[in-house]
Each structure stands twice: as C-alpha cells, then as structure tokens.
Amino acid sequence: MQRAMTKVMGEYPDTKPVTLSPSSGGLGSFLTGLMMPRGALAVTNPFTGNITYDPNMMSGQSPTEQEQTIAHELTHSRQAQTTPWWKTAMGMFQPDAKVPAGVPKNSPMNDPYYWRSSEMEAYQTERDRAQRTHIPYYVDPVTGSRDLWLPNQRRGIDTSPSPQVIQRAVSRPSLPDPLADALAKSKAGMKLSPIEQAALNKDLNEYHQSTYYKSLMKGK
C-alpha cells in the first residue's frame, strides 16, 4: 500500500501529504469504524485527510486496484484540505443525497451514497486516472461496466455499431466475455441501453486497433 501511495501521491501535486495507515485496535480503530462502511477498503478522515485502510480487504487487490483505491481516497483528502472544518461538521448533520427519479430499483446507482457530491468526485477521479494511465479492461467502480467513458450523445443519434462491425467482431472467440455478451445481444436484435452501446463501440474500436487483432488479420 505504501508503494501505491507514493506512486499516486506524485500524480496529484495539489494534494498535501497525508498519512496512510492500516486499521488497528483501540479508540482510533473504533472511530474509524464509525466512518468506514461495512466491506469498505479504506476511509479518509474528513477533518485531517489522513487515510486508514483495512489490510484484510486490501490484501486481495492487485497493485493497479490499490492505486485506484488510493486515488479515490486522495480525492477525499483534497476535499478535507480545502473545506473548512465547521462546514465539514455541519455536513454530517445534513440529509443524505437523494437518488434521482427514474433510476431503476435494481440499478447499482440506486443508492444515495453514489450521489453524494464528494463520492461522485472521488469515483470520477478513478475513472479519469484509469483513462489517463490506460488501464486495460477497466471495470467501472460503480456500475461494473467495462472500459466505460460515455461520449457526448445527442438525442436521436444511433450510437450502435453497424451490422458489419458486429458480424466481424462476433466471430472472434478471443473477445472478452462481457463484450461478447453485448455483441450477442445486439446480434439477436435486442435493444441495447445507451451505456451498453457506448461500451460496445469503445470496446470494438480498441479491439480492432490491438496488436492481437492485427496479428489475426495478417494470419488470414
């Protein structure tokens, strides 16, 4: 974790140094536990910006995943460093964020936690970093979608891939499973959501530009 902390801290020079420590017993652990949701990887003190992580939860993460977690928490550190303490204290007594109308009940976005402005900023930091560092087969931390950066869409524009693109790609058994599922769904004539369409377009584009795909084409 310290390796990840050192690396990611260097990517955000606007964040003042903070401490990173594992959770342990005692009063400090009790107070941290009050702030850390069940199953959370780490938590940031909203007043000091210092980060505490759960060693057991973090042990199963890859180096890249650890870096993404640090990037998320450092966003909260910056928030703590730029927000007056009294405003932070008052915010603790404010009603939680509301889920916008129209969000399906079974959607991962149907949780007030993900609509808190502080969390929205932190999760966007993860997405931005994943795109900037070219993390392969990135899974969105909230929706679980792969390689998802939605383009600006205009009403009435069909963003789905052409039948020719689908036919060429669906014949490639090496495609990642989530993409293959989306292709199969589209080929069957099932309507894709805007999110699925955007993910499909992006995955196809990256796949066709990959060295592996080009090697397959040369072998034909």
Q: Which domains are seen in the chain, by residue range?
A: 2-132 (3.30.2010), 163-218 (no CATH)
77-103: average pLDDT = 92
CA distances from 160 to 171, 190, 206 (A): 18, 12, 15
For residue range 97-121, what is the model confidence (pLDDT) as tens digits? Answer: 999 988 888 888 899 989 999 999 9
> What CA–CA distance (Å, rounded) separates 191 from 59?
40
Identify the bridge partners of residue 146 per DSSP, sorted by sequence position: 139
DSSP, residue by residue, 122-135: HHHHHHHHHHHTT-
Any idea of the CA torsion for 48, 53, 54, 58, to the nearest 10 degrees? 170
Contact of 61 with 41, CB cutoff 8 Å:
yes
Contact of 194 with 153, CB cutoff 8 Å:
yes
Phi, psi angle pair for 53, to nearest 5°: -125, 160
Identify the bridge partners of residue 190 per DSSP, sorted by sequence position: none
User: For position 116, what pLDDT does the model report?
Assistant: 92
Beta sheet of 20-22, edge-to-edge order: 20-22, 51-53, 42-44
Contact of 173 with 212, CB cutoff 8 Å:
no
For residue range 152-177, what is the model confidence (pLDDT) as tens digits? Answer: 444 444 444 445 444 444 444 444 44
Half-sphere exposure of 6 (CA within 13 A, CB side): 3
Contact of 77 with 15, CB cutoff 8 Å:
yes
Q: How confident is the model at residue 92 (pLDDT cuts 50, 70, 90)?
A: confident
Q: Name 25's Cβ contacts closer than 8 Å, sequence gap at least 6.
A: none
83-103: average pLDDT = 91
Position of tokens 């594992």? 22
Crossing angle of helices 63-82 and 2-9, rounded to 10°: 60
For residues 83-108, b (16+ Cβ closer than 10 Å) or e, as one string?
eeeeeeeeeeeeeebebeeeeeeeee
Residue type, 8: V
For residue range 176-206, what is the model confidence (pLDDT) as tens digits? Answer: 445 556 666 655 666 666 666 666 666 666 6
To the nearest whole number, what is the mean pLDDT of the chain?
76
For residue range 135-146, what is the model confidence (pLDDT) as tens digits? Answer: 988 888 888 876
Q: How many whole angstroms from its chain centre is CA 12?
A: 18
Q: What is the pTM of this model?
A: 0.64
Position of tokens 């090496």? 174
